Amino acid sequence: MHARSLRRRDCGSAPAGYDRLNPIRVLHVIPGLSPKDGGPTNALHGMARASAALGAQVTVATSDDDAGGRLDVPLARPLTVGDVDYWYFARSLPGSWKPSIGLARWLSANVARFDVVHVHALFSFSTIPASRFAHRAGVPVVLRPLGTIAPWSMAHRGWKKRPYFALVERAHLESAAAIHTTSESEREAVAALGYGSKVRVIPLGVEILERHDRPVRDDWASLRLLFLGRLHPVKAVPVLLEALAAARRRGVAAVLTIAGDGTPAYRAELERLVASLGLDGAVNFVGHVDAERKRALFMAADAYVLPSYQENFGIAAAEALAAGLPVIVSDRVGIAPQIAEARAGLVVPVDEEALSAAIELLASDPRRLESMGDEAHRLATAQFSWDRTATSLLELYEELRHHARGRRRR
């Protein structure tokens, strides 16, 4: 199997007709930007950076939450990274809701300065002041649910989510000018709640890396699998471990690297499962990884695996595709239809037997892996570049700015 040499591609140009002399002012609001949060953090940084590269004036407002800790960032003043201004505010109380009184006050005083407010996530404090102050100021809101209203998510701890949704979040969906989903499956979840007419499906982007072949791998001793993502029950890592154990019992030579953070209790639970399945020498937990380490893991792997019960998009899978890595994903991953159509990997149900069979199939056919890797890179280049995503976002933002101006003139 060929290894890969990777380098970044540059973004393209702004959408046709975009007025760089009157750049659109976009505010992104998200509960937190901890690197440990994985996909949401990576997506927001990519979205902001790519939109700014195409001419938008981009500001991000968030809390200093760091997966329960605190980020080492300046508070209540701008931190400029590239062409993007980041404003961090102290989290007022611990917990997943991530309340920040400082953030709310800043939004109240500043939201009217922007043309569009892009709000990320539901069931978080920041959505409330961002949506309501923007609505009061007549600034259109693009609401990105981040998969929080998909069936699995709503059922998980549904005893508190359903009443909260009825009392709080439904009003935000009602007042939003547009609802940004990243896949057709997420669009369907929003449409089931009665808001399908507001949905814009704009896939996320990933860093597209150039792919060059190297000498054929000559140490084909085992299939090297990679899981990279949050350690959370939605990711179905126990199913993956059971499937790996079943494949190895049938004589399949396969090993697994697990990259990503979770609560200490959940990681300990996974480590106990590894021991009970006799996988101690076959599974390696490496914890949270930075961008360079992530690229190295993609380079060292033969296939990426994401068996989640629900993913509104699946950004880590898209990153693997962009590195020319074939994937095994569940049919609950948002980009699974594109993967299946492009033959860039295997799509299976969240089922130990099906996942084990997929592992065995790839382990038995290195040439299939190489072919899928080629298709993976082509798919990511065609559909998941940040340039493409940012272009679509700027078109949406301009449309909403135009409509807002029309309402004010009347």
What is this structure's pTM? 0.88
State which fold the 22-205+385-409 domain adopts: Rossmann fold (3.40.50)
Helices (H) and strands (E) in the chain, counts: 15, 18
Question: What average pLDDT is seen over the chain?
Answer: 91
Q: Which of 366, 370, 369, 329 is nearest to 346 (CA)?
A: 329
3-state DSSP call for residue 259? strand
Task: Give the 3-state secondary structure percentages of the chain, helix then strand then coil, rounded to 5.
Answer: 45, 20, 35
Q: What is the pLDDT of residue 405?
A: 77
Bridging pattern class, strands 212-216 and 199-201:
unpaired
In the chain, CATH 3.40.50.2000 covers 22-205+385-409, 212-383
- One pLDDT digit (tens) per residue for the chain, 410 residues: 433 334 444 445 677 656 677 899 999 999 999 998 888 999 999 999 999 999 999 999 999 999 889 999 999 999 999 999 999 999 999 988 999 999 999 999 999 999 999 999 999 999 999 999 999 999 999 999 998 998 888 998 889 999 999 999 999 999 999 999 999 999 999 999 999 999 999 999 998 877 654 335 556 789 999 999 999 999 999 999 999 999 999 999 999 999 999 999 999 999 999 999 999 999 999 999 988 899 999 989 999 999 999 999 999 999 999 999 999 999 999 999 999 999 999 999 999 999 999 999 999 988 899 899 999 999 999 999 999 999 999 999 999 999 887 676 65
Q: What is the pLDDT of residue 4?
A: 38
Distance, CA of 179 to CA of 162 (rounded, Å): 19
Which residue bears the tokens 């009665």? Answer: 194
Q: What is the pLDDT of residue 68?
A: 85
Q: What is the pLDDT of residue 19?
A: 66
State which fold the 212-383 domain adopts: Rossmann fold (3.40.50)
Distance, CA of 58 to CA of 72 (rounded, Å): 22
Q: Please return the burial class of 67, using the count of CB atoms within 10 Å of its CB with bins 0-12, 13-18 and 19+.
A: middle
**Under 8 Å between Cβ of 115 and 126:** no
Buried/exposed 124-136: b ≥16 CB within 10 Å, e otherwise? bbbbbbbbbbbbe
Tokens of 161: 């989510």
Q: How many CB atoms sit inside 10 A of residue 157's CB? A: 10
Distance, CA of 63 to CA of 310 (rounded, Å): 26
